[in-house]
């Protein structure tokens, strides 16, 4: 096998996993990431003494491939399995126990935040902090340019791992055979994403202790999709005598309130949380909002069909657009697509 120079656009979970699989095989790999941090939605914020995962909440266990990455190859000392279960609730706010089988699987996270895995993986990789604006197809590979048109480098192959709408824009701005460009965008446009408002609410004193770590709405008919007690992950997640709740709002609510002022959203969500829990909560002492325009794919694109077409051109695609919003699936898809280059 001839070693190649490979560019990976996007240093989320899928891109990081693919990079390691390709680097292990002897290829020279460079990742390009437009954000300040690696990991994509598997990220963590640290503010005013609070540590919280504003996107993905944990990594589901039970899969040998991703579990091996987490517990063996990239294991860190602050790895934890969230002990309490996830319970469910419906549109009327009725709360009951969740699926025992699903709750039996590990819920991997880290005392320092979910971003710890991405940071650990990135330690062994060449990550360049820049946004790629377009590609140019050449007779021996792909030339990359940043968003200001500055030439970045030439690579024999390229792997695109960013969300599908961003990938469509990248391909449409790129210079390549018209038929190739058309077929790629047609495949990518099959993916559809739901937006997500993630609202962080810090309280003092700590909210009531519950027999669960989080609640998930199963009938998709409540304004709140997910409610988690972030301080249950680790005492280090919140200052003394405080607690942090994370409310991730359902797609209809997120779409309807996307442009609203933060303070109005926070007030409304705090009231909805209090009603759901039937708990008189104090005024939050800490708040934050994270807007995720491409949070969870509601419809997926066909990665196998797309990559069968693009691989002869030294181009491939992976990520949540093809497998859904679970971190462990993104890790595994990155590794699987990387195998196609080998």
C-alpha of 240 from chain center = 29
Mean pLDDT in residue range 235-251? 97
Mean pLDDT in residue range 100-109? 95
Tell me the per-residue pLDDT of 207-221, one tens digit each, with 9 for 90 and over.
999 999 999 999 999
Q: What is the pLDDT of residue 54?
A: 97
Tell me the per-residue pLDDT of 268-283, one tens digit each, with 9 for 90 and over.
999 999 999 999 999 9
Mean pLDDT in residue range 41-69? 95
* 54 and 99 share one domain: yes
Average pLDDT, the chain: 97
Share of the chain above pLDDT 70, in %: 100
* 88 and 134 share one domain: no
Q: What is the pLDDT of residue 303?
A: 97
Q: What is the pLDDT of residue 36?
A: 87
Candidates 12, 48, 44; CA nearest to 113 is 44
Q: What is the pLDDT of residue 62?
A: 78
Mean pLDDT in residue range 21-33? 97
* 250 and 229 share one domain: yes
Buried b (16+ CB within 10 A) or exposed e, 168-194: bebbeebebeeebbebbbebbebbebb
Q: What residue numbers bound the domain in which 210 lies?
A: 45-114+193-297
* 29 and 127 share one domain: yes
* 307 and 173 share one domain: yes
Counted domains in the chain: 2
How many Å apart are CA 164 and CA 186, to the nearest integer? 11
User: What is the CATH number for 164?
Assistant: 3.50.50.60
* 187 and 216 share one domain: no
SS3 state at 154 = strand
Tell me the per-residue pLDDT of 298-341, one tens digit each, with 9 for 90 and over.
999 999 999 999 999 999 999 999 999 999 999 999 999 999 98
* 202 and 291 share one domain: yes
* 318 and 201 share one domain: no
1 pLDDT above the threshold of 80: no
């Amino acid at each position: 096998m001839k070693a190649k120079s490979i560019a990976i656009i996007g240093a989320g979970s899928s891109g990081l996993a693919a990079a390691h699989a390709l680097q292990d095989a002897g290829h020279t790999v460079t990742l390009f990431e437009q954000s300040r941090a690696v990991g994509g939605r598997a990220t963590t914020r640290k503010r005013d003494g609070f540590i919280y995962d504003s996107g993905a909440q944990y990594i589901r266990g039970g899969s040998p491939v991703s579990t091996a990455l987490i517990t063996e190859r990239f294991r860190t000392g602050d790895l934890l399995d969230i002990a309490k279960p996830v319970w469910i609730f419906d549109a009327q706010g009725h709360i009951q126990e969740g699926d025992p089988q699903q709750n039996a699987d590990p819920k991997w996270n880290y005392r320092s935040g979910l971003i710890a895995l991405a940071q650990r993986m990135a330690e062994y990789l060449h990550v360049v902090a820049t946004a790629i604006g377009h590609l140019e197809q050449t007779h021996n590979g792909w030339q990359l340019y940043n968003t200001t048109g500055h030439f970045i480098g030439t690579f024999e192959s390229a792997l695109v791992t960013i969300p599908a709408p961003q990938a469509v824009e990248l391909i449409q701005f790129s210079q390549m055979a018209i038929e190739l460009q058309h077929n790629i965008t047609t495949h990518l446009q099959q993916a559809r994403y739901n937006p997500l408002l993630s609202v962080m609410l810090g309280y003092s004193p700590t909210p009531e202790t519950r027999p669960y770590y989080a609640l998930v709405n199963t009938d998709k008919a409540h304004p709140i999709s997910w409610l988690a007690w972030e301080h249950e992950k680790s005492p280090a997640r919140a200052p003394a005598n405080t607690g942090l709740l994370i409310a991730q709002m359902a797609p209809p609510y997120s779409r309807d309130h996307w442009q609203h002022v933060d303070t109005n959203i926070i007030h409304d969500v705090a009231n909805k949380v209090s009603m759901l829990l039937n708990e008189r909560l104090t005024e939050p002492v800490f708040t934050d909002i994270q807007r995720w325009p491409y949070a969870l794919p509601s419809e997926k694109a066909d990665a196998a069909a797309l990559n069968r077409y693009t691989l002869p051109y030294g181009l491939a695609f992976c990520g949540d657009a093809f497998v859904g919003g679970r971190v462990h699936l993104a890790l595994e898809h990155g590794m699987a697509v990387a195998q196609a280059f080998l």
